[in-house]
Amino acid sequence: MRRITRQRWIKTGIVALGFLVVFATTYTANRQYIRSNTDLVPVAVAAQRIGPFMPLKKGSAILAQRPRSVVPAQAVATPGLLWEEGRQYYAGELGFGEGDIIRMDRVVDEESAGPGNLAALPEQNRILVAVNTNLVKSCANLVGPGVLVDAVAVIRSSSPGVPDKVISPAENPGLAGLLVVDKKNAESAVPAEKGREAVPAVITLAVDRSQVELVKSIVEYNEKGSIYLLPIGFKSDVYFKSLAGK
């Protein structure tokens, strides 16, 4: 009788011990799951609304606490990473609302910012001006994004016996060292590989906004005559930005 009773107690003890192990394991796992999803973690959030393709600069984002469960893998842990690495970042096409978590899959850099490059123009104090030119006579495909050029304008004379007027950097110093940032064909499309459409016709130059007289001169030369572009140098960073935008 005692033996039977002892066996029953042993079985009961084993069952109770198994129950306690299962209960403790489940309880611990649940607590860890709840903690992992409700713990607050630091993350960068938008300090105010950031419009599409607007530059991210100091003050655009602040550090805030958010539940771990709502923090995506692409979240930025430190706001300073957005402006302290020597690169300019911009909001993507969706932008950010105030308090939104800044995430890298909704951020673009300056090489692929698209309209963001236009948003940065005021800070660079630059203006873009388009020039109609004959690139066959302007060193053909040597003129493109990133190329520094001297411009020479030819104003055709309307009077017999009067020579054409040629304006170079010697006559207008502002025509020296202009930066090419884009080129398109006559239909404002990216030049094709072959055929007539491969001949670029429109060149976009970046000019300092304070050079109002230079901009007026370029527009006047473009209207009254022809402008030829002579390469004098190259800026690789502008070239690679243009490739990223295609």
Cβ 135 vs Cβ 201: under 8 Å? yes
Domain span including residue 90: 40-118
Average pLDDT (68-74) is 84
Task: Inform me whether the pLDDT recorded for 86 exceeds 80.
Answer: no
Cβ 150 vs Cβ 178: under 8 Å? yes
User: What is the reported pLDDT for 66?
Assistant: 87
Q: Which residue is it, tokens 């050029």?
A: 149
For the stretch 13-54, pLDDT in tens is 676 666 676 666 776 666 666 666 567 888 999 988 887 777
Average pLDDT (165-182) is 91
Select the more confidently predicted residue: 111 or 133.
133
Same domain? For 190 and 229 the reply is: yes
User: What is the reported pLDDT for 198?
Assistant: 46
Select the more confidently predicted residue: 236 or 220.
220
Mean pLDDT over the full length of the chain: 76
Domain of residue 92, CATH code? 3.90.1210
User: What is the reported pLDDT for 27?
Assistant: 62
In a domain, 20, yes or no: no
Q: Which residues pair with 154 in a beta bridge?
A: 166, 226
Task: Inform me whether the pLDDT recorded for 124 exceeds 50.
Answer: yes
**Terminal-to-terminal C-alpha distance of the chain:** 90
Question: Where a domain ends, among 118, 144, 173?
Answer: 118
Task: Inform me whether the pLDDT recorded for 120 exceeds 80.
Answer: no
- Alpha helix ranges (H) inside 163-211: none
Average pLDDT (138-158) is 82
Instruction: Look at the chain and report how many structural domains it folds into.
Output: 2
Select the more confidently predicted residue: 108 or 140.
108
Same domain? For 110 and 137 the reply is: no
Tokens of 109: 């850099």
Task: Inform me whether the pLDDT recorded for 115 exceeds 70.
Answer: no
Same domain? For 95 and 185 the reply is: no
The Cα-based distances of 30 to 19, 23, 35, 36, 69 in angstroms read 16, 10, 8, 10, 15
Q: Which long-range contacts (CB under 8 A, 24 or more apart) does 89-94 make?
A: 89/55, 89/56, 90/53, 90/54, 90/55, 90/56, 90/116, 90/119, 90/120, 91/50, 91/51, 91/52, 91/53, 91/54, 91/56, 91/116, 92/52, 92/53, 93/52, 93/53, 94/52
- What gap in Å lies between CA 120 and CA 61, rounded to an integer? 18
Question: Where a domain ends, among 118, 141, 159?
Answer: 118
Task: Inform me whether the pLDDT recorded for 173 exceeds 90.
Answer: yes
